[in-house]
Structure 1
């Protein structure tokens, strides 16, 4: 029942044609769901002014290893340094673009990404020397948000954060899980997280057409643990460390360790480490 059968078949054919004697295995659904979620947060389907197509993922210095992992697992594409602290994974070859299209066609969740991908596929078909263009599929299976696949995890590694802060003038604290997304058209998908996690709320951001799904509070935050614990081994980047420390610190707060003045600075330093991941990965 995997929606990735055709992609896996074509990928194996491509890699076997490039590397004789290379044993190529199908990629797991967990990785591919994750990659779709990550791409919908941080990826681009690009058609430039010369009508050249490329698939791009961009990350900052702190999280550059996530791009190398994607390249290694996929078996194609390349990672290049784009600036002093910016890296990108890029696919531009015709055969690679075709694989990317087979992976995402019918499996994209966010409406804004569907529009971008549709234009990308239309451009590909116009350039392709064949009488058999790839037909655009709006949706093949509804893959997310759901607790039963890694789409939310991938999207979180791109657009989510685990954050804890302590007020300097009191013993108060704030613990939150946040998913951020642009555009009004995507709001129904983001809102579905309330149903999926059975909690949380949507808040508008100060920036226009930007929204946050937020789970806050020590007791409420526990609703996200079963999902992320289930897919702990499927994290690919620095958000794994952030999530682990987030759980540890919440547990210490639950035990009221933050009320101990001798430990409060230690906990504040830990919260700064957790929050720094969100600030530095882009």
Structure 2
């Protein structure tokens, strides 16, 4: 049986420090490799100039990497594929509706690499495709057990192994035939999470998940809304939803001291687990956790939602107007 153990924020910070200590060594390695193989020394120099963990944490008092991992657990994707000509492509991406393009441009500006492009009529994505940038810059920044959802943890595990094999092939440590054989096998494995692959979540731990991860995950999967409780009575609510992550939602419930239990929801033939609360006492505690910490367009929603909670709670007409305006804003920016 496969297991990934959950970790505390303190353990995660220690691992991040260790990763950062190795960063300069890794970048010296890639620079030497590029020069030796007459590749692009310009790319190696660019890798050296990319932001350190300390710089990334500016504007993220709860840790940028933890926030980034939470966002990826919700809306990120790691995959690799082989073209008909036999070449391999490795891609990391974060997808968002067009109305939240602000979040994708924030990632590009913060990480100082990657690109943003449209992905259909209603969505866009931030992506990194350069395997050297992925291998030497992005992946070393993630701590052990960075991802808390089964799907993303398994996906990342396969991606990380595949990219390592690809780089070994590029430096002639293994043959092209061996490389392709290993990569095809991993690609097949990555398509479906094994039933016995588990991410273990600590039982009743106030430090788990970390606040940074929770803010990032909420950026992707959280909803700050107004719910019609009864006729002419709108109440403030917060919710999170996941298809196969009841234990993770239970961990969030315990961390935030939410009294309502995780429930199973259904729409048509689709089932998912949902954690939600409309408790005034709970929301009073949640507002300072998320207000001014969300980076995408949801920051505007949270600010207006929180302000109305403080000033307009119980005022049906004011809340109805806000609900309408928030819905229209999404439509006009899609």
TM-score grouping bracket, smaller chain normalisation: 0.7 to 0.9
Deviations 1:162-190 (A, max 9, x none): 000347x822223210111122xx22111
Gaps of 5+ in 1: 133-137, 259-263
Match of 2:35 in 1: none
Cα 1:203–1:124 change in 2 (3 A) is same
C-alpha distance in structure 2 between counterparts of 1:31 and 1:3, whole Å: 14
Structure 1 residue 2 displacement after superposition: 4.2
Q: Which consecutive residues of structure 2, in runs of 5 or more, have no partner in the other structure?
A: 1-12, 31-41, 175-197
Matched, 1:66 2:118: no
Cα deviations by residue, 1:39-72 (Å, 9 ceiling, x for unpaired): 1100001122444211011112211121111111
Q: Which residue of 1 aligns with 2:130?
A: 93
2 CA distance for matches of 1:23 and 1:90?
16
Deviations 1:182-227 (A, max 9, x none): 22xx221111111100114312121544111111133332231242
Conservation of the 8 A alpha-carbon contact between 2:209 and 2:252: no
2:153 is aligned with 1:114 = yes
Distance change >3 Å, CA 102–CA 63, structure 1 → 2: same
Distance 1:101 1:17, change over 3 A: closer
Where does residue 247 of structure 1 map in the other structure?
306
1:172 maps to which of 228, 233, 245: 233
Counterparts in 2 of 1:124 and 1:148: CA distance versus 1, 3 Å: closer
Normalised by the length of structure 2, the TM-score is 0.67
Q: Distance in 2 between matches of 1:16 and 1:201?
A: 50
**Pairs within 5 Å for 1:26-37:** 26=53, 27-28=56-57, 30-37=63-70
Q: How far is the alpha carbon of 1:7 from its aligned partner?
A: 5.1
3-state secondary structure, aligned to 1:84: coil
Q: What are the equivalent positions in structure 2 for 1:77-88 lying under 5 Å apart? A: 77-88=114-125
CA RMSD of aligned residues (A): 3.5
Residue 224 of structure 1: which of 282, 286, 293 is its match? 286
Q: Give the C-alpha shift of residue 146 in structure 1.
A: 4.0
Is structure 2 residue 101 aligned with structure 1 residue 40? no
Out of 174, 198, 208, the position equivalent to 2:257 is: 198
Comparing 194-203 with 217-226, greater Cα deviation is found at 217-226
Q: For 1:145 and 1:82, locate their aligned partners in 2 and report how far apart those are by CA, in whole Å.
A: 37
Distance in structure 2 (CA, Å) of the matches to 1:215 and 1:101: 35
Separation (CA, whole Å) in 1 of partners of 2:127 and 2:69: 15
Q: Any idea what SS the aligned residue of 2:15 has? A: coil
Q: Is the counterpart of residue 154 in structure 1 residue 154 in structure 2?
A: no
TM-score by length of 1: 0.79
Q: How far apart in 2 are the matches of 1:223 and 1:21? A: 41
Q: Distance in 2 between matches of 1:270 and 1:9?
A: 49
Change (3 A) 1:151 1:145: farther
Match of 1:267 among 319, 329, 334: 319
Do the aligned residues in 1 keep the contact of 2:50 with 2:112 (CA within 8 Å)? no
Residue equivalent to 1:103: 141
Call closer, same or farther: CA 1:144–1:111 in 2, change over 3 Å.
Answer: farther
